[in-house]
Amino acid sequence: MSPRLSIVGFRRTRLVAAVLACALAGTAGAVITGHEPAANASEQKNGGKRHRVVTSPDAPAAIGPYSQAIAVGDALYLSGQLPIDPVTNKLLAGASIEDQTRQVLRNLDAVLRAGGMTLDNVVSTTVYVADLNEFARFNTAYAEFFGSKPPARATVQVARVPQDAKVEISAIAVR
């Protein structure tokens, strides 16, 4: 092996080691691109697109360490909403599956509007119900909120919905 090759190999090895060390420290982007990492999640880049936290005072506040929604480019990813009245901040306990579904969809609509969208922008929902025997009644209320082009949907029965609600719905919307 020539001395020149071993020096180039040594330099390459040091560069790879430096990049790996920075990646483990979460600063690889700073080393490779020369940019400082973003200060907080609302300024993070995702595939070259910034994402921002979307919140609405007209929907219940998050009850844990998550956001009501995250906007990335033309998409809005909405966390699951429960049938909580945003004014009283109380679950509609004892309400029918229809009334709980309507409240959940009103909450989703409030977050969508905070993100500059409406229910017409929803392309997919994931529905968690406590009892699939109530599916037909849920479906009647759900259909009231979507026109002739309802979004794609997955509906599953779960062992328990948070706060013992009957339904929770998350959504994805696109401009």
Helices 135-143, 97-114: crossing angle, 10 deg rounding: 40
Task: Delimit the domains of the chain by residue range.
Answer: 3-33, 41-174
Torsional sign, CA 154, 152, 45, 113: negative
Residue 170 vs residue 17, higher pLDDT? 170
Bridge partners of 170?
Answer: 126
pLDDT in tens, 104-131: 999 999 999 999 999 999 999 999 999 9
| The pLDDT of residue 43 is above 70 | no
Residue 35 vs residue 65, higher pLDDT? 65
Alpha-carbon gap, residue 122 to 145, rounded angstroms: 11
Pick the CATH number of 41-174 from 3.40.50.2000, 3.30.530.20, 3.30.1330.40, 3.90.1170.40: 3.30.1330.40
> What is the arithmetic mean of pLDDT over 81-109?
97
Do the bridges between strand 49-54 and strand 69-72 make them parallel or antiparallel, or are there none, so unpaired?
Answer: antiparallel
